[in-house]
Amino acid sequence: MSQETPAAPEGATFEQLGGAGWLVRQAASLHITSPTEVQRATIPAVLRGKHVVAGAATGSGKTAAYALPVLQRVAEEAYGVFCLVMTPSRELAYQILDQFIAFGAPIALRTAIVIGGTAHGKQLEAVQARPHVVVGTPGRLRMLFETFPEATAAARNVAFLVLDEADRLVEGDMRDDTLAAVAALGAPKPFRRTLMLSATVNTELTDPAEGLLPQLGVTDAGTLAVCCTSSETLQAERAIRTVAPNLAQEYIFVPLHVKLQFLVCLLRTRDKAQSAIIFVNSCVRCEVVRLTLQLLGFPVASLNSLLTQQQRLNSLAMFKAGFAKFLIATDVAARGLDIPEVALVVHYDVPKLSATYVHRVGRTARAGRSGTSIALVTSSDVDLVHKLEKRVKSRLKEHRHPKINDDAVLEILDHVSGAKVEARLTVKRDFGDRAAYHKEAAAEKKSAINRAIRDDQKSVKRAAAQSAAQGSGGKKSKAKTAAAEKAASPKSPDAPDKPRKSASPGKKKATTPKRKPSTPTK
C-alpha cells in the first residue's frame, strides 16, 4: 500500500494550492473561498500529475477536489473528451455534472451525460461531439463503448479517468461494468491520470501491485498519491473508514412489530425546520414507509429503484427545496448524493456492512456542522450492531426522549397500523409488477453469472486435460496418436464399438450445519 500524502496546512488558500486566478474567482462567486482538507490534499497532487486515491467523509468537498484541478488542465490544453467521470448512480451523475458546469462556466465548458433511461442515439451524438467532460454510469458507458466504435474513438485519449464513489464502483456486478468500460478505451496513454474518490478506502484501491489499480493502468507506486483526511479515521478489517467526529451515534431499542410506530414518535420529536433521511434495506419497504408517513401527514419523499428516473429527480428536488422534510431512501439510490443541511439520519433497517453505515452517516454532520445518527434496533439486530460497533471502534449511545416510549406508541398504535395497511395495499397495486420484474431480472442475471462461471470452469478443465495429453510421452503418446488417427479415418462396418466408460459419480454437496443463534440482549 502506498504512503499517505499529507494535506497542505490548514488555512492554505486555493491560490497557494496552485489554483489559477480565473478558477479561484469562479469558486468564490459560488461562495467557496476556503479549501476543505480533502481539497488541500488532492488539488496539489492532481496538478503535479499524480494518480490520486482520496478518502474523506461524504460532504467534505470531494467532487470539487478533482473538478477544480481537472478544469484548470482543460483550460490549458482543451480537447475532447478530456475527462471521463464514472459514478454509480444517475442522480450522482447529474450532481457531478452540475458542479462541472458551474465551475467551468468561464471557459465555456462542454459536457455530456451518459446514463440509463436516455436514448442511445442522443448519447452517441453527444459523445461524438467531443465534449470536454463526460459523466456517466458504468453500465451505460460500457454499452456505449462496446456497441459504438465512434464513441470509443472519441473517448480513447482521455487525460483524466475519474471514479467517484470508487468503492461502490468495484462492488459486485458494477465492478464488471466499470472494468469493461475502461478496457473498451484500450491501453491507457502515458498521460492518462486516474483519480479515485470514496468515503471508504482499502487496499483494493491503493495497492499498485494488485487489486484495482493495475487493471486501470496504474502500476508505479511513485506516481500514486493516497489522501485520507483527518476526519475520524477508523481501521476496519482491510479498510480505512471515515466518519465525522462531530456526529452523535445513537440507537433506540424497539419491538419489530411496532418499529414504524416508534419511527413516527421519533419524527414528531424533531424540530420541524430540520430535515432527515430515513434509510431502509428494500425498495418495497421504502415505498410502504413513505406512503404510511404521507398518510399520517408528514412531508415526505422517497428515493429507490422502483421509481422512474423523473420521479427520483422530482423527489430529490422536493427534498432539497424543503417541500419534503423527510427522505425515505435505499442505500443504492442515495449513495454519494450531495444533500446539504441534513440534521438527522435514521437507520430504519440496520445496515449489514460497516461501509454502508459509513456512507449513511455521511449524509449528516457535514462541513463542520453537528449531526445525529439514530438506529432503530430490534432483537434480531443486536449482534449486527455489536459487530458494527467493533468495526468502527465506536459505541452507539441509547437515545432517550420523554415522548418516545411504550405509552406513546400505544396511543398511536391503531392509527399508524391502519395507515400501514392502506400503504401496503397501494404499493402492491402500484409497484407490484415492477417489483416482480426487478426480482426476476436479478434472478436471471445471477443465473447467467453462474452459467458463465461453470463454462469457465469447464474450459479450464478441458485446457488442463489437453495440456496433460500433449505433455505425456513414450508408448502412451504413440498409442493416443494412433487412436486419434483411427478415429479420424472412416470406420469399418465390421469393427466392433468399444464400450464407453461410465461417468464417475458426482460428489455430494457438503452441507453446512446451522449455527444456533445466540440469545440477543438489549
Per-residue model confidence as pLDDT tens digits over 55-68: 887 778 899 999 99
Helix (H) or strand (E) holding 499: none
> What is the maximum alpha-carbon separation in the chain?
97
pLDDT in tens, 26-66: 999 999 999 999 999 999 999 999 999 998 877 788 999 99
The domain spans of the chain are 21-241, 243-441
Q: Is the model more confident about 505 or about 424?
A: 424
Written as one string, the DSSP assignment of 363-395 is TSS-TT--EEEEEEE-GGGHHHHHHHHHHHT-P
Name the region of 163 (left: φ>0; alpha: ψ -120 to 50; beta: rest). Answer: beta
pLDDT in tens, 152-190: 999 999 999 999 988 888 877 788 899 999 999 998 889
Give the whole-number percent of the chain exceeding pLDDT 90: 51
Q: Could you confirm whether domain 243-441 is CATH 3.40.50.300?
A: yes
- Burial label, 248 (beta-carbon count in 10 A; 0-12, 13-18, 19+): middle
pLDDT in tens, 369-386: 889 999 999 999 999 999
pTM check: above 0.75: no
- Is residue 227 within 8 A of residue 48, CB to CB? The reply is no
Q: How confident is the model at residue 228 (pLDDT cuts 50, 70, 90)?
A: confident
Number of Cβ atoms within 10 Å of the Cβ of 107: 16
Q: Is the model more confident about 431 or about 517?
A: 431
Give the whole-number percent of the chain exceeding pLDDT 70: 77
Q: Could you confirm whether domain 21-241 is CATH 3.40.50.920?
A: no
Instruction: Tell me whether domains 21-241 and 243-441 share a fold.
Output: yes
Average pLDDT of span 84-94 = 91
β-pair type (200-202, 239-242): antiparallel
Average pLDDT of span 401-422 = 96
Please give the C-alpha separations between residue 9 and each of 14, 39, 345, in angstroms, as whole numbers. Answer: 12, 11, 32
Q: What is the pLDDT of residue 355?
A: 76
User: Computed from CA positions of residues 321, 323, 325, 328, in that sequence, does the dihedral angle turn out positive or negative?
Assistant: negative
Q: What is the pLDDT of residue 245?
A: 84
For 29, the 3-state DSSP assignment is helix
User: Computed from CA positions of residues 62, 64, 67, 73, in that sequence, does the dihedral angle turn out positive or negative?
Assistant: negative
CA-CA distance, 196 to 413, in Å (whole number)?
A: 48
Highest mean pLDDT among 279-293, 329-343, 344-358, 468-482: 279-293
Q: Distance from CA of residue 304 to its chain's centroid?
A: 14
